[in-house]
Amino acid sequence: DIQMTQSPSSLSASVGDRVTITCRSSQRIGSFLNWYQQRPGKAPKLLIYAASSLQSGVPSRFSGSGSGTDFNLTISSLLPEDFATYYCQQSYITSWTFAQGTKVEIK
């Protein structure tokens, strides 16, 4: 299996802050990388697919970048509803794996 690792595991930020979460894969995966948001008590929601493509209906303050083994999810200006846990997931091999998640908390 491909191991996915995110950093940091948690962060504290304020409304309006720019936040970047990093995801690293244990082998090169091209741009076969997705990002999900999970608000407390809710199901995950797809934000970004193919490393940088914004899912329909997702606000443009979310963006994704990277290829190979290193990827970023950036939130340009945090809103209250963005406090959640974010997961990256590889789709390079069909034994899909997720990273452990990054919890974004209110400072």
Whichever of 76 and 91 has its CB closer to other proteins, that residue is 91
Whichever of 19 and 88 has its CB closer to other proteins, that residue is 88
Whichever of 17 and 24 has its CB closer to other proteins, that residue is 24
- CA dist 89 and 45 (Å) reads 12
Whichever of 8 and 77 has its CB closer to other proteins, that residue is 8
Residue 57 φ then ψ, to 5°: 90, -10
In the complex, the smallest distance separating the C-beta of residue 87 from other proteins, rounded to whole angstroms, is: 6
The β-bridge partners of 54 are 48
- CA dist 2 and 103 (Å) reads 22
Residue ranges that bind other proteins, judged by CB under 8 A? 30, 32, 34, 36, 42-46, 49-50, 55, 87, 89, 91-101
Which has the closest alpha carbon to 23: 76, 91, 83, 94? 91
> In this structure, what token pair is assigned to residue 30?
């091209």
In the complex, the smallest distance separating the C-beta of residue 15 from other proteins, rounded to whole angstroms, is: 26
In the complex, the smallest distance separating the C-beta of residue 101 from other proteins, rounded to whole angstroms, is: 5
